[in-house]
Chains A and B, each alone.
Chain A
Amino acid sequence: MQVRVANVRKEFDTFPALHDVSLEVRSGELIALLGPSGSGKTTLLRLIAGLEQPTTGRIFFGEEDASAKSIRERNVGFVFQHYALFRHMTVADNIGFGLKVRPAQTRPASAEIRKRATDLLDLVQLSGLEKRYPAQLSGGQRQRVALARALAIEPKVLLLDEPFGALDAQVRRDLRRWLREIHEATGHTTVFVTHDQEEALELADRVVVMSQGRIEQVGTADEVYDTPNSPFVYGFIGDSSSLPVRVEDDQVWLGERPIGLSAPGLPSGPGTLFFRPHDIELLDGCSGCLAGTVAASRRVAGTRRVELEIGGQRERVEIELPVDHPAAQKSRVAFRPRKWKVFPQSAIQGK
């Protein structure tokens, strides 16, 4: 089922949570809404589910206008961050709930419901726990039950709100892989919200990066990492270092010196240079490069992160070096980013 969000705007009282958001989710796609807290990602998910009504704009499921439908009629599977299981029901009753509350004409026989619950428990790898109560399960198990419960109603769309947010790191990693498998097995159109970029990049077919109630960029993991289209995305996805620079004569200037990066086609004027700390080349001499004094150096897992003070304003940037690289011992390091991007000042202020 394809989902289309058309020019949706949502205000809480007068506070705008979403400004004119449009998004198309392809049928069978696994898509992540990624952003810091307050970026509107959960609001967007709840709007798709029908838990909130848009102030303006519409939401389509396939060709149907879903905005007019109540949450009950939309037939979405929603998984909450804190599971929201029914405490007084067994695992099997939780999973069967969506089928049991159907009107008598469309309700399956109770044996059928029980069988479906058992099948779904197999799918989420919790066979044999039918009789347990949610209080007797671990966090990871509860979230699996919540997913099985959402799948039981054969939803048109599966929506997950920070599904692994309340779990610890190891369980998250396992469940991530497992969710991907489930998605491939069932083929539901799935939208999930996360603030964890690793989760989004690893799991999703496409990532929707959101900030302050707007969609910044929609793309595959490669696209949003390699070709970020805004300073926010560059800063938010992956590590990045930035420097205030100036563009003149198709060259990037830091203070009074060009730094050896040519920027054909960029408008002249102030801007911000972004690059990845690990994607640099070290240089010996320096005529047209970035050079700075080492201010701090930290060992982080397999690499060494070096903080440099650069230029007259003593701006600080971070670069990453191999652990045993001799440059880390020096007091002055010269380098040039391999891949980089300059965003003109206007683009930054416009946000």
Chain B
Amino acid sequence: MTAVPARAGWRFRQPSVIPGFGLTLGLSLAYLTLIILIPLSGLAWRSASLGWPQFWTLVTDSRTVNALKISFGTALAAAAVNVVFGTVVAWVLVRYRFPGRRVVDAMVDLPFALPTAVAGIALTTLYAPNGWIGALVGPLGIKVAYTPLGIVVALVFIGLPFVVRTVQPVMEEIDREVEEAAATLGASRFQTITRVLFPGLAPAIVTGFALAFARGVGEYGSVIFIAGNLPNISEIAPLLIIIRLEEYNYPAATAIAAVMLIISFAMLLVINMLQSWSRKRYG
């Protein structure tokens, strides 16, 4: 026997009957380099050329810090809201058959398709103090438009499809038998959901959260209309970058961008690690 022991470590995938491995891999790498790697490294290079002390002063500027806090804080809050309601929407769409289900299903995609500026204007009109909803909640002391709350509302709108569309297919694959098994073992409906169904969905929910969050951090169009853009209160980091650019203050713009990149990257890394951990465990 000439059994070749499997080598540990990295290995190229064995050529299969499907040709074109070299070509497609080369094309993918070139494309990703062009589209993602070069712009990002340009950013890193520009901010590195600032020098550490100058970079630090720029990013610890209180307006910058507040803008970053607002951007990431509102994106987190919106993603959290979306996780809850997006999962509920996905549940309803997967589990029940009702008239108009397909319409509701299509409606979920609207935030994907709608130009974000249009969404921003529509939301502002609704939530402004004299708008339909703004006038309703105003007397209760709740101000939505021109506050961070308004930003959250816009990001919830933008992020919803990301959660629904990641959770929905996984939910569709849940085996009915697993629920029946739980029922025969004496679990109540509530126990079945919390102990059996939800843990199975957790990886998909985490992914949906990550996507909604990443989208929220980068969102610009819909937010600037409803936010009011008051420095230190409702000014988001992407807007501050633009303001700096318009002031021809390129170093400051680059520094903010670099910080955003680092934080986003770190968060996505954590989320990815969570996912691979759960995939390893649950197969």
Contacts and interface: CB of A to CB of B under 8 A. Distances in A.
A72 B190 CA distance: 13
Nearest to A152: B185
Interface in A84-142: 84-89, 97-98, 101-102, 133-136
B188 A101 contact: yes
Given A88-B200, A88-B282, A97 B175 contact: no
Interface size class of B (residues with CB under 8 A): 20 to 34
A80 interface: yes
Interface string A42-78: 0000000111000000000000000000011011111
Given A98-B186, A102-B186, A133-B282, A84 B181 contact: yes
B185 A88 contact: no
Given A88-B281, A133-B281, A136-B283, A72 B186 contact: yes
A193 to B, nearest CB: 14
B195 interface: yes
Nearest to A101: B187
A49 B175 contact: no
Contacts of A133: 281-283
> Most chain-B Cβ atoms within 10 A of its Cβ — which of A72, A149, A153?
A72
B43 to A, nearest CB: 40
B interface secondary structure, majority: helix
Given A82-B175, A133-B283, A101 B181 contact: no
A98 B186 CA distance: 6
A97 B185 contact: yes
Interface string B177-199: 11011111111100100011001
Contacts of B180: 51, 78, 80, 84
Contacts of A101: 182, 185-188, 191, 195
Interface in B172-229: 175, 177-178, 180-188, 191, 195-196, 199-200, 202
Given A80-B177, A84-B175, A133-B283, A71 B184 contact: yes
A84 B200 CA distance: 13
Interface of B: 175, 177-178, 180-188, 191, 195-196, 199-200, 202, 281-283
Interface of A: 49-51, 71-72, 74-78, 80, 82, 84-89, 97-98, 101-102, 133-136, 146, 149-150, 152-153
